[in-house]
Amino acid sequence: MSTSRGEADGAAIRGLLESWAEAVRAKDYSGILARHSADILMFDLPPPMESKGIEAYRETWDLFFSAQPDPIDFDVQHMNVVAGEDVAFVTALMRCAERGTGGRRTVLEFRLTVGLRKVSGEWVVVHEHHSVPSA
């Protein structure tokens, strides 16, 4: 669905997010944070409502890793990139794990929207929105 002008940008953004997901699986904080803006706005799956700035964003990963069973699952099931010249967003269906009844490992599917800006020729993540439907 990327514009033809944006095909190279679409591929760059797709690669950026695949590398980010790989860093999450490796609990590699420098990789997780590598392409994120100092003023990122995070709407995470668990509370709070929002986390502003890279330090608060980093802490959402502390919470994530404390709750996830090892090894970490964090996989892109389906991704769509809408890339313009200098702003882009990505929609994705994602999968991780959670501890179910009796501590058993179960699959958790969630939705992800990512907002990006191109800064000095490089795509930077300025927003993430993770969620599951509310029962």
Stretch that binds its own copies, among 17-25, 27-35, 66-74, 81-89 (CB under 8 A): 81-89
- Shortest reach from residue 30's CB to its own copies, in Å: 25
Binding residue (CB under 8 A) for its own copies from 8, 38, 107, 132: 132
Across 39-66, b (16+ Cβ under 10 Å) vs e yields: ebbbebbeeeeebeeeeebbebbeebee
69 binds its own copies (CB under 8 A): no
119 binds its own copies (CB under 8 A): no
Tell me the HSE value of 114 on the side-chain side, using a 13 A CA sphere.
Answer: 26
Place of tokens 């058993």: 104
Question: End-to-end distance of the chain based on CA atoms, in angstroms?
Answer: 31
Nearer to its own copies, 18 or 109 (CB): 109
126 binds its own copies (CB under 8 A): yes
User: Tokens in use for 99?
Assistant: 């501890």
Residues lying near its own copies in the complex (CB under 8 A) are found at 3, 41, 43-50, 80, 82-89, 91, 93, 109, 111, 113, 115, 117, 126-127, 129, 131-135
